[in-house]
Amino acid sequence: MIFLKQKKELTKLLKTINEMVILLGMKNNANIQMQNLLLQSLTVAINKIDNILQKEKKTYEIFNKDIQSLRNLFNIENGTENLFNKNQLARIQSIVRFIEINVNKNLPDKLNIVFMPYKVTMWDSLASIYEEAKNDPNCVVKVVPIPYYELTGKEEIYTYEGDLFPKDIKITSYNEYNLEEESPDIIYIHNAYDAYNEVTRVKKEYFTSNLKKYTDMLVFVPYHITGFGKLINDAQYVTYAIPTIKNIDKLVVAGQFVKDAAVKYGIPEEKVLVLGSPKMDAVYQATKDGKKIPEKWKKQLENKFVFALDTNCTYLINNKYSGFAFIQQVFDAARMNPNCAVIWRPHPLSRLTIEHFSPDMLDEYDALVEAIKNNSPEYPNIVYDDGPEYFSFLSASDAYISELNSIMALYTITEQPMILNSVSLGEAILLPDKAFYHFYDASYPWYQIVKDLINGNDKKRKLRKKLASQIYSYTDGTSGKMIHQEIKNEVILNMVGKSK
């Protein structure tokens, strides 16, 4: 099959032949030595064209006769060294033009797209783009999960998660995908950190510096969504200041405020696209039809008000003395209220981060997790969630509790109660502080928040209406569609522009 990038190469090669034909017609080049050099170059060009055209068996017959005519005109097959007259040169140009017309007429603008995720838990950052591309008749799509290393501080643990992806996604093994041969029109990645990630690192052959060698459109859709907190000097956007961004053709961000910060870091404005986040698409789809409790959790959660507790990967190491106490206080809601339950979902890299940076905390963490998993009576109606996706975690909940993080940003779509692990944030966030409950607000303590919410007294309901759309784009489940259309159009426009 011939894809857009090969079609672009055909156009360039045909243009090169025309230029060489003009040189052949110039009087100062009418000598055997120069003609031989040009004929050698033409041989290479025609062979390349023929090799590309043979990839599309259905249309090859359209071109085969013209290719052979060019070979005969150049006397390439028998090595003759005749000079060309004007009629022959005009004939060559006519055939080249005819091939060019047929290339544009008979070869569709079909895109070769590859998605290269590394962790299955982060697939949601690409999933809705994949669905759009997969259903586009002008695209051929492959998903190639790439191997990576977990960095514990002591060793590098080789990891591959290709077998953990949803069964409805056809997976291509990285061992069977040849980047040089595929030469994809578009590569989508959600990890662009190369050697700059201290917890995980993809294999070097999948660093952005290497991927860029094989595509004209390397697209970075971050596996996180930027939270809504304001930090001094735009510190939370430092992720976009890494050196590898120079290898990226397009960076997709969730809102204009993120683009503004990225541009401050020196990223060219035209490189940054404000197209929302596929992660928001995923949450929108998972929660739009209301609360859904998976069968495995029904015994503990059914007919109860459920709090979704989320702790990020650095929470416990940054809060050594208060972190576990906070978690236990949240669990108190389920201990003291029979109509209440809690789902705790630590970030997938939490244990690895503790092992790497604070190994002295590992025993306490492991003991807590095991007690919940084993249904200890000390933890009634409390569920530990370490599944490969977090949509069940969100869709089974009635309210969400955490510090500022990307999942809370996603949860704003649901317009359900959110409790911040804080006293008050005031002007420190981009959204109205009054739309949130605060865990450590002495005037409205945690136990009272729990009591009111369980009894249907949600005092901040109206303040959360359309909260997400105040700072994020395409919060209606259409981000993946917009990203696919924008990138596709950009690639096609680049092809047309460069072929003129």
CATH (domain of 491): 3.40.50
What is the CA angle 373-376-379, rounded to 5? 90
Burial class for 221, CB neighbours closer than 10 Å (0-12, 13-18, 19+) = buried
From first to last of its 500 residues, what are the pLDDT tens digits of the chain? 888 888 889 999 999 998 888 887 775 455 667 777 777 888 889 999 999 999 888 888 899 999 988 888 776 444 444 556 788 888 889 999 999 999 988 888 899 999 999 999 899 999 999 999 999 999 999 999 999 999 877 789 999 999 999 999 999 999 999 999 999 999 999 999 998 888 899 999 999 999 999 999 999 999 989 889 876 555 555 567 788 999 999 999 999 999 988 888 889 999 999 999 999 999 999 999 899 999 999 999 999 999 999 998 889 999 988 999 999 999 999 999 999 999 999 988 899 899 989 999 999 999 999 999 999 999 999 999 998 788 999 999 999 999 888 899 999 999 999 999 999 988 889 999 999 999 999 999 999 999 999 999 999 999 999 999 999 999 999 999 999 999 999 998 887 665 44
Same domain (yes/no): 288, 267? no
Same domain (yes/no): 88, 49? yes
Same domain (yes/no): 326, 372? yes
340-346 and 382-384 strand pairing:
parallel
CATH (domain of 90): 1.20.120
Give the residue carrying structure tokens 């009634």: 380
* pLDDT given at position 500: 43
* pLDDT given at position 239: 66
Supply the range of the domain harboring residue 379: 283-470
Where a domain ends, among 87, 106, 125?
Answer: 106
Same domain (yes/no): 93, 223? no
* pLDDT given at position 497: 61
Same domain (yes/no): 450, 486? no
Same domain (yes/no): 46, 96? yes
CATH (domain of 344): 3.40.50.2000
Same domain (yes/no): 205, 289? no
Same domain (yes/no): 44, 157? no
Where a domain ends, among 83, 106, 129?
Answer: 106
Intra-chain end-to-end CA distance of the chain, in Å: 24
Rounded CA separation 48/58 (Å) = 18
- Contact indicator for 18, 42 with CB cutoff of 8 Å: no
Structural domain count, the chain: 3
Reduced to 3 states (helix: H, G, I; strand: E, B; else coil), residue 431 is: coil
pTM listed for this prediction: 0.81
Same domain (yes/no): 466, 488? no
Same domain (yes/no): 488, 438? no
* pLDDT given at position 235: 54
Where a domain ends, among 88, 106, 124?
Answer: 106
Same domain (yes/no): 194, 238? yes
* pLDDT given at position 73: 79
- The first and second tokens of residue 495, run together, are 């092809």
Q: Which of these, 459, 454, 458, 455, lies nearest to 333 by C-alpha position? A: 454
* pLDDT given at position 78: 40
Buried b (16+ CB within 10 A) or exposed e, 450-469: beebbeeebeeeeebeebbe
* pLDDT given at position 499: 46
Same domain (yes/no): 489, 445? no
* pLDDT given at position 59: 87
